[in-house]
Amino acid sequence: MARRRDVDADDIGLVEGVLDTNDLEAAGCVVCALGARRPRLPTAPQVQLPVSGAYVHSVAALVADAHALQRENQELRAQYELVSAHNAGLAAHVSVLHDRNLAILHRAREGYRAGMTRLEQALLSRERVERDYADLEGRVADFRARADRTEAAET
């Protein structure tokens, strides 16, 4: 069973950094392939147990009821063992999927931080360009004003 420290974001097969639905499913996982099935309880036999201390009409019927209850008990035990094994498999499966999801979340956070850094740099660059543009507009206005004064002085 994979633990959090054993799963790295690079273990997830991403093509060109894009998540696919197959990345969220365990490849070749028996649980995913078969799906979870709910076990059914066996049908209860019609057994009539006498009250303690009551008269028993037929010992043979009592023995048959005891055998029926024993078979039901064995079926229930087998179902319990199957369900326990199935639950252990599901727990392992959930642990692996949880660790993969944590790795995907980690990668998403890294991508978000990188994107926010790029956005901040782009905004700062834009602000710098806008300031430079405003300075250039001011210089052009000053240059035109000087040119107009020079023209006015020459005429």
User: Quick one: which of 94, 86, 106 has its CA closest to 26?
Assistant: 94
Strand, helix or coil for residue 134: helix
Q: Report the predicted TM-score, pTM, of the whole model to 2 decimal places.
A: 0.46
Residues in the chain: 155
Question: Distance (Å, rounded) from C-alpha 122 to C-alpha 146?
Answer: 36
Q: For residue 124, give its domain range.
A: 4-17+24-154
How many structural domains is the chain composed of?
1
Rounded mean pLDDT for each run of 10 residues along the chain, 155 residues in total: 44 48 50 60 71 82 87 88 84 87 94 96 96 96 94 86
Evaluate whether 45 touches 69 at the Cβ level (below 8 Å).
Answer: yes
